[in-house]
Every structure is written in structure tokens, then in C-alpha cells.
Amino acid sequence: MAGACARACAKRKAITVEPGKLTVDADRCIKCGKCVDSCRKGAMTGKNGYLLTFGGTFGSVVSPGRSATPIVFDKTTLFRVVDAAIDYFERYAEPKERLASTIKRRGWDEFQETVRGAFEAGEAARDGTANSAKNRL
Ligand code: SF4
């Protein structure tokens, strides 16, 4: 049924369907994949991945999760990014401090640079593995 994707995205309202045209507003899209799952015609496609957000809530202090990397598509990169976030926290957290507070105190850019570096290293390692596998064929 045409427009199933837009109905699946009713909360975010990221999809606009006009005759012969479908538009996804990248600023509204949170990459949840509901539109892909809803499309029986296969017009909406995508692949599974991990959308990592960093933040959290502690008592009345709310720090909405923020994405620090693009979507991660493999477990090697996933673990590199998570390890980098844990290392950052171990290195910079003050006693009893939560990760969101550490990031806020030191600045988002430094944290993002840390995990982004791990993401890029993971992507490079994955690409290297893929290339060496291709070379063996
Ligand atoms: S991925 Fe989620 S938020 Fe993005 S367009 Fe599809 S349903 Fe909407």
C-alpha cells in the first residue's frame, strides 16, 4: 500500500509522499528503519547497523543521547567505538561522575573526536580485511 512508509514515520514526519515522488527529510530522520520494515514493495531499502548515542539521565539531570559517529555496520568497529568511549571515561571522569557530565565538562568536540577516531580506525580495518579477502579470491 503506497504511503506505508510515511505512516510508519508518523511521529517523526520525515517522509513526504507526493504522486511519483517520495522525499525523506534527513534532519528529521533518526534512522530507526521503521519505513524500510513497512514497505512491502521493497522501495525503501537499508541495512542493519548500530546507531550509537552518548548521554543519559541521572535523577533530574537529563542529557539526551547524541550521535558521535555515523551508523556502525560491523561489530569490530562497534567494539572499537565503545572501548574508546570507556577509555575516555576512565581517563577523564572525576569521582562519582557520570559519562554525560564528563562530556559536558570537557566539551562534546573532544569526546566526538575520540570516538570518531576509533570509528575511522575500525572502518579502515574492516576495509583492509575486505580488500585482503578480495585479493585472495
Ligand atoms: S528511518 Fe525512521 S525516522 Fe527515518 S524516515 Fe524511516 S521511519 Fe522515518
Is residue 45 a part of any domain in this protein? no
> Are 30 and 65 in the same domain?
no
> Are 58 and 33 in the same domain?
no
Q: Distance, CA 21 to ligand 1 centroid (Å)?
A: 16
Q: Ligand 1 pocket: which residues have CB below 6 Å? A: 8-9, 12, 14-15, 24, 29-35
Cα–Cα distance measured from residue 117 to residue 128, given in angstroms and rounded to the nearest whole number: 16
Provide the 8-state DSSP code for 80. H
Is residue 43 a part of any domain in this protein? no
pLDDT tens digit sequence for 29-50: 988 899 999 998 888 888 889 9
Q: Distance, CA 102 to ligand 1 centroid (Å)?
A: 31
Is residue 25 a part of any domain in this protein? yes
Torsion over CA: 82, 85, 91, 93 (sign): negative
> Are 99 and 130 in the same domain?
yes
pLDDT tens digit sequence for 62-104: 888 999 999 999 999 999 999 999 999 999 999 999 999 999 9
Mutate to test the pocket of ligand 1, among 7, 13, 30, 45 (most ligand atoms within 8 A of CB): 30
Confidence at 60, pLDDT banded by 50, 70, 90: confident
> Are 77 and 128 in the same domain?
yes
Is residue 48 a part of any domain in this protein? no
For the chain, where are the E strands, in sequence order?
Answer: 15-18, 21-24, 53-58, 61-67
Tell me how many domains the chain contains: 2
Name residue, grid cell 547497523. Answer: 49
Which residue range forms the structural domain that includes residue 30? Answer: 4-38
> Are 130 and 104 in the same domain?
yes
Q: Judge residue 98's burial from the number of C-beta atoms within 10 Å of its C-beta, 0-12 exposed, 13-18 middle, 19 or more buried.
A: middle
> Are 24 and 62 in the same domain?
no
Q: Side chain identity at 120, as an amino acid letter? A: E
Q: Distance, CA 38 to ligand 1 centroid (Å)?
A: 10
Share the mean pLDDT of the chain: 89
> Are 19 and 69 in the same domain?
no
Is residue 15 a part of any domain in this protein? yes
Q: Which of 22-26, 84-88, 110-114, 125-129 has the lowest mean pLDDT?
A: 125-129
> Are 74 and 122 in the same domain?
yes
Cα–Cα distance measured from residue 117 to residue 13, given in angstroms and rounded to the nearest whole number: 33
> Are 34 and 82 in the same domain?
no
Closest C-alpha residue for ligand 1 atom 8: 9
Cα–Cα distance measured from residue 66 to residue 74, given in angstroms and rounded to the nearest whole number: 20
> Are 11 and 64 in the same domain?
no
Q: Is pTM beyond 0.85 here? A: no
> Are 17 and 57 in the same domain?
no
